[in-house]
Amino acid sequence: MRRSDFTREIVAVVKRALLLGYYQHIIAGYFKTNQGRISEIKNGLWGSDVAAADNLPPDFPILA
């Protein structure tokens, strides 16, 4: 998934997953993208105006 494919909703889910302690590679795998996109969101380089989602999607991997 390219950066341009990330919607505000996806960025919000990424932020929620990061807040919950998910590793970047797990999040990247779910969205079929590379860890660089997740890192950009984590570090505020992209999507800094988007708040974290309230919940993760039901099919998101369970944090072990």
* pLDDT recorded at residue 56: 97
Q: What is the pLDDT of residues 31-57, one digit of tens each?
A: 999 999 999 999 999 899 999 999 999
pTM for the predicted model, two decimal places: 0.90
Closest by Cα among 23, 18, 1 to 52: 18
* pLDDT recorded at residue 1: 58
Only one residue has tokens 């974290």, namely 52
